[in-house]
Amino acid sequence: MRITDDWIRADDLQRVLACLTGAGHRALLVGGCVRNALLGVAAGDIDIATDADPAQVTGLAQAAGLRTVPTGIDHGTVTVVAGGHPFEITTFRSDVETDGRRAVVEFTGSLAADAARRDFTMNALYADASGTVIDPLGGLPDIAARRVRFVGRPGDRIREDYLRILRFFRFHALYGDPDQGLDPDGLAACAANGAGIETLSRERIGHEMRKLLSAPDPAPGVAAMQATGILARVLPGADCGALAPLVHLEAGTPGSAVRRLASLGGEDAAERLRLSRDEARRLQCLRSEIGAGAGPAELAYRHGAEIARDVLLLRGALLGQPLAPGWRADVDRGAAAVFPVRAADLADRLSGPALGAKLRALEARWIASDFELSREQLIA
């Protein structure tokens, strides 16, 4: 099997590969770029694995006129920049010691050893400069079946890094066959090792959960997380019951991790998932408005079109409220509305707290009129 995508023939990439292979070393594309090419998904970062050690990679790249950055020398990674494009080159390695969060590695000349330390079989695929795929662990059948399967014994892979539990659910959401359940051996291993989640930093957990909730349809994966007890460890009190209806209602609307997080509920999500200040404010606003009575236009006037849209979708999913015909037009109308009265219009009669109270009262009347009352009608 060969990769024929245009990116693999790019001059910058071929130049980087040639600086290693020309000196007798192996230089293989690995991981996500190979996986995505075989799945017909756009490639992101292009990573390279080699039997050259970091010092050799640095020397050969510089001799070829390429800039190098020692981004992760201890773990065998050197970034080589060609034509403004960065390529991470990592020496074949194997794990010497792991604690569930990080690993001590040693460099090796063995492709098989390098493949064996990877998380999923679909990530343990390599390709040479011509695009010919090398499959040391049987990942190609899993790619064909869109099956996310751990390399070797799932429990062993998980105990090397407990974040792989969350990656298992995310990868199924992104690359798994939606008509198949999750790999049963992997699912059982996640359930058996769930306590390891508590050893991870909240930043790593939050980063992974954002990516999971941003998948086109995270609902089956999150439901499996709840069934195995993983969701309760990540976000106590969360319930995925409204997530599938929300994804259905979102058709035609870009997915939003914060909107979908709001549908789960749960305790102290902002802290547990280390949300940014803006994300935390948005989540709080969504949750507070779900049960409030403001309609589409008022929501958009007060909070903007995006918040209004999200609240209405969440109400539909959580409360079973149907989305009224024309709700998007109401949102647009409310977002464009401008309260016609200004403080200066009342300054000759009122000041201080009385002026503020009067403005709020007039604004409430204007909203109640569906934004119809004019400035003159309100002041009169």
User: pTM value?
Assistant: 0.89
CB-based contacts of 133: which residues, under 8 Å, 6+ apart?
A: 1, 2, 3, 34, 38, 125, 126, 127, 140
Categorize the per-residue pLDDT at 103 as very low, low, confident or very high, splitting at 50, 70 and 90.
low
What CATH number should be reported for the domain whose range is 147-255+262-275? 1.10.3090.10
Query: Mind listing the pLDDT tens digit for each residue in 334-366?
Result: 999 999 999 988 888 888 999 999 999 999 999
- Which residues share a beta bridge with 132? 2
Query: Mind listing the pLDDT tens digit for each residue in 208-244?
Result: 999 999 999 999 999 999 999 999 999 999 999 999 9
Give CA–CA dist 35/305, Å, rounded: 37
Write down the pLDDT at residue 190.
98
Q: Any idea where the domains of the chain sit in the sequence? A: 1-145, 147-255+262-275, 340-380
> What is the CA 231 to chain-centroid distance, rounded?
16
How large is the average pLDDT for residues 252-280? 95
Q: In CATH, which of 3.40.50.970, 3.90.1150.10, 3.65.10.10, 3.30.460.10 is domain 1-145?
A: 3.30.460.10
Geometric angle at alpha carbon 138, from 132 and 140, rounded to 5° = 55
On the question of pLDDT at 165 being above 60, the answer is yes
Query: Mind listing the pLDDT tens digit for each residue in 28-81?
Result: 999 999 999 999 988 888 999 999 999 999 999 999 999 999 888 778 899 999
Write down the pLDDT at residue 39.
94
Query: Mind listing the pLDDT tens digit for each residue in 176-192?
Result: 998 889 999 999 999 99
Q: What is the 3-class SS of 131-151, one letter each residue?
A: CEEECCCCHHHHHHHCCCCEC
Calculate what percentage of the chain has a pLDDT beyond 90: 84
Write down the pLDDT at residue 114.
93
Write down the pLDDT at residue 81.
96
Write down the pLDDT at residue 350.
81
Burial 309-328 (b: 16+ CB within 10 A, else e): bbbbbbbbbbeeeeeeeebb
Give CA–CA dist 286/258, Å, rounded: 9
Give CA–CA dist 180/257, Å, rounded: 24
Write down the pLDDT at residue 100.
53
